[in-house]
Amino acid sequence: MSETTSNEAPSNETAGPTDEFELKKRRKWPWIVGAGVAALAIAAAIVVPRLGDARTANETEGATLLITTVEGQPTETALIEFVAEEVAPKYGITIAFKGLADSTTLNRAVSEGEVAGTIYQHKLWLGQVLEANPDFQLEAATPVFRWGFALWSDKYDSVEELPDGATISLYSDPANEAQGLWVLQQAGLIEVDPSIPYYEASVDDIVKNPKNLQFKLLDFAAQSRALPDLDAAVGYTEYYLSADIPIERQIFAPRTPDEFAGQLTIGSRWKDTENIKKLVAAFQDSAVQQWLAENPVPSNILLPLDG
């Protein structure tokens, strides 16, 4: 799940674990002069004490804990609803799903306690979120699943068939560019400088490229749409299936490293509250991994951690 160099407008397609987020900070409105200042001061004297006493659902016994992801993600929504119905009652908490518009909105909601958590992103995406929004107070509490992430081709049926000079697309955000390069290295197509952590690598770190592959960086939705014009692309299964590209067009799909596992992300200031401790325990329950392994809804899109 990031954006440190470019922004992606939300699309109508199913959103994946990596929709890019808005880097702009919220605008600070100028103070109103004269009588307006006095009025605001009076209002602040009344409102601020109430805000100081306010408690979020995170710290309120019996409150419903909202778990969010980007609207239009049926697999992640189904997972949250499963935990809400089948797992949360075992831990004495109530969970409900809430969809939000984009990565910045949902991460801000978690940071400010409007919602209890999100399962939207991996650690590397979260790192980019925090770099772009240093006021956010967030942390990855526990891994929950792996995203399907693979090398796709509409023209070739195997890695070996890719021709010399083939054009391959990677995602345009740094974390998922690195994940794509890791897949290509596992396929034996390239070699990345071993002194660079694989989760930080970019195309500039490729030291061996025997097939003279050419790289094109695209955003999430654009990449799957462009597959017919590419020799291959490395991307999230969810985007390809939502674009009606059959799973058979995956030509290489290794198990991705732990750094790319989807995390339950929580607000740091509430991590020691009883509600959030129980929430983390619920997502760590073995029933979650069993559901990921056996239920057809997340098949090929959300994978169990050991799968």
CATH number at residue 245: 3.40.190.10
- Most confident by average pLDDT, 15-29, 48-62, 197-211: 197-211
Q: CA 261, CA 146: separation in Å to the nearest integer?
A: 5
Do the beta carbons of residue 116 and residue 276 sit within 8 Å? yes
Looking at the fold, whether 10 and 140 belong to one and the same domain comes out as yes
Please give the structure tokens belonging to residue 122. Answer: 């991996």
**pLDDT score of 44 more than 60:** no
Give 112-146 pLDDT, tens digit per residue: 999 999 999 999 999 999 999 999 999 999 999 99
- Same domain? For 293 and 193 the reply is no
**Same domain (yes/no): 129, 261:** yes
Of residues 37 and 292, more confidence is placed in 292
Do both 174 and 207 map to the same domain? yes
The identity of residue 287, as a single letter, is: A
**Residues 73 and 120 reside in one and the same domain:** yes
pLDDT tens-digit map of 277-296:
999 999 999 999 999 999 99
| Residue corresponding to tokens 């796709």 | 152
d(CA 23, CA 7): 8
Share of the chain above pLDDT 90, in %: 75
Which has the higher per-residue pLDDT, 35 or 85? 85
Decide which of 229, 255, 281 is a domain's last residue.
Answer: 255
Residue-range definition of the domain harbouring residue 282: 1-147+257-307
Q: Are residues 184 and 70 located together in one domain of the fold? A: no
Boundary-marking domain end, from 219, 234, 255: 255
The percent of residues in the chain predicted with pLDDT above 70, rounded, is 82
Three-state SS string over 277-305 comes to HHHHHHHCCHHHHHHHHHCCCCCCCEECC
The total of structural domains in the chain comes to 2
pLDDT at 222 over 50: yes
pLDDT at 1 over 80: no
Asked whether the beta carbons of 307 and 255 are under 8 A apart, the reply is yes
Q: 286-298 as b/e, with b when 16 or more CB fall inside 10 Å?
A: eebbebbeeeeeb
pLDDT of 170-207, one tens digit each?
A: 999 999 999 999 999 999 999 999 999 999 999 999 99
Query: 296 and 245 share a domain?
Result: no
State the pLDDT confidence band at 298, using cuts at 50, 70 and 90: confident
What distances in angstroms separate CA 301 from CA 127, 248, 292, 298, one per listed residue? 23, 14, 10, 5
Q: Are residues 59 and 178 in the same domain?
A: no
Residue 297 confidence (pLDDT): 87
Map 110-161 to HEC letters: HHHCCCCEEEEECHHHHHHHHHHCCCCCEEEEEEEEEECEEEECCCCCCHHH
Read off the pLDDT band of 258 (50, 70, 90).
Answer: confident
Helices 286-294 and 74-82: crossing angle in degrees, nearest 10, is: 140
Comparing 269 with 38, which gets the higher pLDDT? Answer: 269
| Same domain? 243 vs 109 | no
User: Which DSSP symbol is given to 84?
Assistant: I
Q: Say whether both 195 and 307 belong to one domain.
A: no
Residues 275, 215: one domain? no
| Average pLDDT of the residues in 54-77 | 93
In a shared domain, residues 13 and 134: yes
Is the pLDDT reported for residue 20 higher than 80?
no
To 10 degrees, the CA torsion angle through 129, 134, 139, 140?
A: 20
Residue 16 pLDDT level (bands cut at 50, 70, 90): very low
